[in-house]
Amino acid sequence: MSNAPTFGLSSAALARCLPFAVFMLLLGLRGALPVSESLDPRWVYGLSVFVVGGMLAWYWREYGELARQNLPSAREALLSVAVGLAVFGLWIHLDAAWMQIGEPTASFLPLDLQGQKIWPLIALRWVGAALIVPVMEELFWRSFLMRWIASPQFQTVDPRAVGLKAIVLSTFVFMLAHTLWLAAIVAGLAYAWLYMRTGKLWTAVIAHAVTNGVLGIWVVITGQWQFW
């Protein structure tokens, strides 16, 4: 009997895949909407944050890996913060032309016609990137996909025991979802390493949140909007 992974529409799989799929769908909608005085597609990101945040709350009981008993220790949390800061430091420097795949995506530019910052847009973007996206993405990329590649019964897979195939393939797919492919590989491997080392998804979520949160602050301060 074949041991090859087969996708199943179990409630556990749906709970980890649907928020990510809806988020990507809404991002695609934002890119397809025409810009006009009466319609600003940038606000679709706020809708994405609201919808996906609601979906995560709805499915929260499905996420046993994020239950209270799986919270990291103080030492593990500090390690996660350190890894998140290191990924941020590398991310903003891994942007050479050969480190990019495909055409550069349009950056999120929260400025008005006079070049002034639109703070509600900035706040929505930061909240989404630092608080919602890390939970959503780690549930999909690491907790689901990486373990599903190891076994269709992904919930039975101990993250500390996933094989090289699962790590490489899940990181490769994660890379394809980003323009900065080398930075994405570094980030994907770093978050996967934390999950595997501790066996706790919260460590990957914290590192991811630190990376995104600090990146957002840095972008607003420096005006390097292409990283956002």
- Per the prediction, the chain carries an average pLDDT of 91
CA distances from 176 to 72, 84, 170, 197, 213 (A): 30, 21, 10, 25, 22
Which pLDDT band, with edges at 50, 70 and 90, does 105 fall under? low
**Residue 200: partners with Cβ closer than 8 Å, 6 or more residues away:** 65, 70, 71, 72, 76
Closest CA to 43 of 61, 29, 25, 56: 29
Q: CA-CA distance, 154 to 41, in Å (whole number)?
A: 37
Q: pLDDT tens, 44-99?
A: 888 999 999 999 999 999 999 999 999 999 999 999 999 999 999 999 999 999 99
Q: Percent of the chain having pLDDT more than 70?
A: 91
Interval 163-191: pLDDT, tens: 999 999 999 999 999 999 999 999 999 99
